[in-house]
Chain A
Amino acid sequence: MQARQDSSLFGQAPVALPPLDSPQWQSPWRAFGWGLRSITQTILTLVLFATYLGIGALAHDTHFSLLWALCSTLFVWAGPAQIILITTLGSGATVIQSAIAVTVSAIRLFPMVVSVLPLMRTPTTKRGELFFAAHLTAVTLWVECHRFLPQVPRERRIAFVNGLGFGLVSVCLTANTIGYFLAANLTQTLGAAILLLTPLSFLFSTARNSREVADVVALALGVLLYPLAAKMNSGLDILVSGLVAGTIAYGVHWWREVRA
């Protein structure tokens, strides 16, 4: 539903994939290759690169190891969760507090997986075949699936998505490594510039994905309420401001629905 708007909003040329009946699609490995190649077809790859450059630098400046940063990208594979994890742990929160904040932030993966997997399922698809697709699902893949998959034959979609996800993960691992070393070696000013990439790219990509009033209110209030919540110094600042701002945003949505 939302993805259609996305591709048009980005104003990109139609996706350059072979026609649905092309022999190019006969082999699953070819389909994987087309998925891999599709990372060059989207501006989101660049946004991801900048974001993960920032995450690598952030990991360095909050004293996590490079291996740790790479493992978080590979196994967590959700930028917001990684940032929440690094900033909360880095600012002295307990493991439990971080785990709660990350768990709540990750709930949004559930509806994404629920909406994206039916695009790849065929009547004979086994659940296990969708494991990697489920793991790779995060906001970028979710947006791109809605854009690319209509042009991929249904029986090749899992292979295509695995290729696309593999490509995006590789880009992000590379960006993490570069960001980590840059943070270690750059002047303070350039190091700060790389760290600033994270809040900027997340703010604007989330604003871009916000189409309903509830999303906009949640984003704006969430930013504004955090400094207030931080004054309470409870260690749960992010959870408190998130729950309050999110619930108010839902209230606005509910109120508009009732009036409508």
Chain B
Amino acid sequence: MSAAQIIGDWQALVVLFVAGVVPNQIWRMLGLWFGGGIDEGSELLVWVRAVATAILAGVIAQIVVQPPGALASVPDGLRYGAVGAGLVVFLLTRRSIFAGVVAGEVFMLAGKWWLG
């Protein structure tokens, strides 16, 4: 691996700052400054939380549906099957994150091995 790969270019770090660091710190610092007067259970925050959860859900779907890099080498059906198998085990084990993740991974690896 080259030094360029490890360090990268400064433009990418500027993008990280603009699109990553600032959008997160804004909310944390607003919480720090104005936190006292906000009702945690207010209707606005319920909606905000629902939208934020759905955005995260969309990202999860994006990684599975339009996979990056090495994950694209796994056939569609196998990726969906792995998530499905993980979900079933997660629910059966009374919502164990660990069991769900392991089951999904095992399903994917076993499927890859089976398909050759």
Contacts and interface: CB of A to CB of B under 8 A. Distances in A.
Interface of A: 9, 43, 46-47, 50, 57-58, 60-62, 64-68, 71-72, 75-78, 80-85, 87, 89-91, 95-96, 98-99, 101-115, 117-118, 127, 130-131, 134-135, 137, 181, 183-184, 186, 188-189, 191-208, 210, 212, 214-215, 217-227, 229-230, 237-239, 241-247, 249-250, 253-254
Contact of A221 (B19, B57, B71): B57
A188 to B, nearest CB: 5
Q: Give the top 8 A-B pairs by smallest Cβ distance, nearest first.
A: A61-B69, A65-B8, A222-B57, A113-B31, A246-B51, A222-B54, A191-B70, A242-B55
Contact of B83 (A46, A203, A206): A203
A200 B57 contact: no
B60 A199 contact: yes
B92 interface: no
A87 B51 contact: no
Contacts of B27: 106-110, 113
A102 to B, nearest CB: 4
Interface string B72-83: 011000010011
Given A87-B68, A137-B28, A253-B50, 19 more contacts: A58-B69, A76-B24, A87-B62, A91-B66, A105-B59, A106-B52, A108-B52, A110-B27, A111-B48, A112-B31, A113-B35, A114-B38, A200-B105, A206-B56, A230-B62, A237-B62, A242-B57, A243-B51, A245-B57
Nearest to B113: A189
B54 A103 contact: no
B interface bracket (residues with beta carbon within 8 Å of A): 35 or more
B32 A246 contact: no
Given A117-B31, A204-B100, A241 B58 contact: yes
Contacts of B60: 199, 202-203, 206, 222-223
**B contact patch SS:** helix
Contacts of B9: 65
Contacts, number: 336
A206 B90 CA distance: 12
